[in-house]
Amino acid sequence: MTNIRIETPNLILRQYLPSDSKDVAFYSQQPNVAYWMSDMVFHDKPRALGWINWINEKFNTTEPFMVLAIENKDNGICIGVVGVHPKDEIDTEVEVFYGISDNYQNKGYATEASKALIQWTFENTQLKSLVAIVKPENIPSKIVIEKIGFEYVDSREVLYDGLMCKFDYYKLFYNNH
């Protein structure tokens, strides 16, 4: 398994450790995170640890399937998730996604983490594009997606939580100039 560690001015992006299970259970249940990422809520440490083990087993840089912890450099706390992975619901295109604990939002961390992972992905894989899907009413996430260079393409119906839901569909192409 490739050990990835990406440092930014405020964050460390790294693979999850079993010791992150407490932080994962905490941030995944925060009201904003739980609302926008309801498929990634873990109600206790054992469920969070099960998810950590699962993503670490699936982790690979070829496909790519990379789900990384976002660690705050100031306090060493795992404050969120950032990743790229093929999304079956959108023809297995590789999606970028992120989530930041409610009490760390509005500090630019989602933008900082996403930019760093996107740059690493384009420089270290064969990918030439990434996609992002965002619920139309999730304005903060749409701002992040647009700030990091994604362009709106259209609207898509995607199966989410057992229902077909409308998502705005964005795309970013690799520009290696």
- The reported pLDDT for the residue numbered 36 is 84
5-173 belongs to CATH 3.40.630.30? yes
pTM score, two decimals?
A: 0.92
All structural domains of the chain with their residue ranges? 5-173
- The parts of the chain modelled with pLDDT lower than 70 are 1-2, 176-177
- The reported pLDDT for the residue numbered 5 is 96
DSSP of the chain, one letter per residue? Answer: ----EEE-SSEEEE---GGGHHHHHHHHTSHHHHHHTGGG---SHHHHHHHHHHHHHH-BTTTTBEEEEEEETTT--EEEEEEEEEEGGGTTEEEEEEEE-GGGTTSSHHHHHHHHHHHHHHHHSS--EEEEEE-TT-HHHHHHHHHTT-EEEEEEEEEETTEEEEEEEEEEE----
pLDDT in tens, 54-83: 999 999 998 899 999 999 999 999 999 999
- The reported pLDDT for the residue numbered 176 is 58
Helix (H, G, I), strand (E, B), or coil: what is residue 76? coil
